């Protein structure tokens, strides 16, 4: 018999409910009635289902855009934060040497997964990474391969185009680097950074009690928060935050993936003087005693208030400022100077979309009600994400999708009682307060609705996080180095759209697609 968790896991990639987009014109509507509850992303349009001429025009220009680089392989524009990246250098070298990139430059090693608009493969750049001294050090990439005909017949061209445009604009340590876009006759391919650590949904299943300790949650949430902050600053509302879309890099840091449901809009970042910094209730601040108990020598961790055993798991991320009872208290002028530091507010507050997009358990009430939504939906999903990482389930999940949606709109948020009789409160009071602030049903009253990420960063739950140095912090878990499957274990790939797939099981060449 399958446990609830296993069933939940099984249904993650099956069962799909999708339809239109942010363009006012609806495109299609598909439902898989066999699945009562799925974790797939949703793209439903609440209006009628006729296709419009304006869609056709935009879809045609999207198709033209995607075809503009046929055969050449368009490398994404410069990515300053990838200056020292070997994968980036190898790609540049191959491109300069051969005057462009094609699918022929890659050896396909295995299928990593598939989503609504394409499949993602692990691909190796042929002939690169072989070093006489260091030996063979293959350059791996994740390649999202989209069948252009399938995209066109399923009205997904604009989705694919949006994802490409967004990926091309990104340059952030916790967001994917687009190394190249290959536009071949049948396929449109996005070549991105490969994350060998899987996703946070899978990683959570491996934790004791299938939930992360609070320190780990703080680490992952802090990195996701920085990624969301950057996206909002770029005028991108992500709309699909869930553990499945948070991938783990080889160094244990995260990468937010999957932008085909994102919304692009304009934003006007402003620098404002803080009137006051939200101070946590004194009961939430780590006491000297708690700090002494939970601190590991040399790790500089501010321990969370909770004394739950899960919250004290090891290793403690090394991304907090050192707070010890012996730390010199900050002087009053320094404290007041910090309080009046200018704050960057880059929240695209004026954006409005009527689309029904997201994942059922993560949908914000305003999306379900259909009142129009904006960037506040990302703060709602951030609250659900925190809850799920801490508790191993989302707060409003019902027996089926319809019940889930009803619960999101009507049910009060409740934290499950701790299964440990010695623990009075889990998660810690600051974690509960943050989640409550994010899961306010009225988007106007939701935490971060106006001041965005800055407001969340100042919350007591993140107290002591060294935001500037998170990238150098020690993550809760570092994945083991990636080992490619032996050629005999490679599975043939189904050709679903009549294009030619060649599998080569007898050689170490993997398989290729044409």
Ligand X SMILES: Nc1ncnc2c1ncn2[C@@H]1O[C@H](COP(=O)(O)OP(=O)(O)OP(=O)(O)O)[C@@H](O)[C@H]1O
Binding interface with ligand X (CB under 6 A)? 41, 112-118, 120, 142, 144, 192-195, 199, 245, 247, 257-258, 260
Q: Name the minimum Å distance from CB 28 to ligand X.
A: 15
d(CA 94, CA 137): 16
C-beta of 382: minimal distance to ligand X in Å? 18
Query: Smaller CB distance to ligand X: residue 200 or 267?
Result: 200
Alpha carbon distance 399, 363 (integer Å): 16
CB-nearer residue toward ligand X: 257 or 375: 257
For helices 376-391 and 214-233, give the axis angle rounded to 10 degrees. Answer: 160
Q: How far is the CB of 260 from ligand X (least distance, A)?
A: 5
Instruction: Using alpha carbons only, give the angle 225, 229, 233 rounded to the nearest 5 degrees.
Output: 170
Provide the minimum distance between the beta carbon of 312 and ligand X in the complex, in angstroms, as a whole number.
30
Task: Give the per-residue SS3 of 274-302.
Answer: CCCCCCCCHHHCCCHHHHHHHCCCCCCCC
Token output for 467: 């935001």
Nearer to ligand X, 195 or 228 (CB): 195
Answer positive or negative: Cα dihedral of 40, 45, 49, 52.
negative
Given the complex with ligand X, which of 195 and 254 has the nearer CB atom? 195
User: Bridge partners of 29?
Assistant: 19
- Preceding amide of 315 cis, omega within 30: yes
Nearer CB in complex with ligand X: 155/245: 245
E-assigned strand segments in 60-132: 74-75, 106-114, 119-125, 130-131
Give me the least distance between CB of 113 and ligand X, in Å please.
3
Q: Measured at CB, which residue is nearest to ligand X?
A: 115
**If phi over 0 gives left and psi between -120 and 50 gives alpha, with beta otherwise, what is residue 138?**
beta
Give the HSE-up count for residue 103: Cα atoms under 13 Å, Cβ half-sphere: 21
Q: Cβ closer to ligand X: 85 or 116?
A: 116
* Peptide bond just before 427 cis, omega within 30 deg: yes
- Which entry of 147, 199, 240, 260 is annotated as an active-site residue? 240
User: Can 240 be counted among the known catalytic residues?
Assistant: yes
d(CA 221, CA 227): 10
CB of 197 to ligand X, least distance (A): 8
The residues assigned a catalytic role are 240
């Amino acid at each position: 018999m399958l446990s609830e968790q296993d069933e939940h896991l099984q249904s993650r990639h099956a069962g799909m409910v999708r339809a239109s987009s942010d363009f006012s014109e609806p495109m299609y509507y598909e439902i898989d009635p066999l699945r009562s509850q799925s974790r797939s992303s949703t793209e439903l349009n609440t209006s009628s289902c006729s296709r419009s001429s304006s869609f056709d025009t935009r879809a045609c220009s999207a198709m033209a855009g995607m075809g503009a680089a046929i055969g050449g392989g368009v490398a994404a524009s410069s990515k300053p934060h990838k200056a020292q990246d070997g994968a980036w250098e190898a790609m540049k070298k191959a491109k300069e040497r051969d005057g462009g990139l094609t699918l022929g430059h890659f050896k396909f090693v295995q299928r990593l997964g598939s989503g609504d608009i394409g499949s993602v493969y692990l691909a190796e750049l042929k002939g690169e990474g072989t070093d006489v001294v260091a030996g063979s050090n293959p350059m791996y990439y994740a390649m999202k391969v989209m069948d252009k005909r399938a995209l066109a017949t399923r009205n997904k061209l604009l989705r694919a185009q949006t994802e490409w445009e967004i990926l091309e604009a990104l340059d952030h340590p916790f967001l994917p680097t687009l190394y190249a876009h290959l536009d071949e006759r049948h396929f449109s391919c996005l070549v991105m950074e490969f994350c060998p650590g899987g996703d946070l949904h899978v990683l959570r299943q491996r934790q004791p009690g299938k939930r992360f300790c609070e320190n780990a949650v703080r680490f992952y949430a802090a990195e996701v928060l920085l990624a969301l902050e950057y996206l909002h600053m770029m005028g991108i509302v992500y709309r699909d935050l869930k553990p499945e879309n948070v991938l783990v890099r080889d160094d244990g840091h995260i990468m937010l993936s999957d932008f085909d449901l994102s919304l692009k809009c304009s934003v006007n970042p402003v620098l404002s003087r803080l009137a006051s910094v939200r101070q946590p209730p004194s009961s939430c601040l780590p006491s000297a005693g708690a700090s002494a108990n939970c601190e590991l020598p040399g790790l500089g961790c501010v321990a969370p208030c909770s004394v739950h055993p899960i919250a004290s798991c090891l290793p403690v991320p090394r991304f907090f400022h050192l707070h010890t009872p012996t730390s010199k208290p900050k002087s009053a002028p320094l404290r007041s100077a910090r309080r009046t530091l200018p704050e960057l507010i880059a929240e695209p507050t004026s954006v409005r979309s009527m689309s029904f997009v997201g994942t059922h358990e993560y949908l914000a009430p305003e999306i379900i009600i259909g009142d129009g939504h904006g960037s506040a939906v990302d703060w709602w999903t951030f609250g659900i994400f925190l809850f799920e990482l801490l508790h191993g389930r989302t707060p409003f999940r019902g027996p089926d999708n319809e019940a889930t949606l009803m619960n999101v709109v009507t049910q009060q948020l409740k934290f499950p009682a701790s299964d440990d009789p010695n623990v009075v409160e889990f998660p810690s009071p600051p974690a509960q307060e943050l989640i409550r602030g994010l899961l306010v049903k009225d988007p106007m009253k939701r935490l971060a609705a106006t001041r965005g990420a800055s407001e969340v960063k100042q919350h007591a739950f993140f107290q002591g996080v060294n935001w500037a140095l998170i990238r150098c912090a020690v993550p809760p878990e570092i994945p083991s180095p990636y080992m490619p499957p032996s050629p005999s274990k490679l599975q043939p790939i189904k050709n679903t759209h009549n294009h030619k797939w060649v599998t080569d099981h007898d050689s170490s060449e993997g398989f290729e697609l044409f």
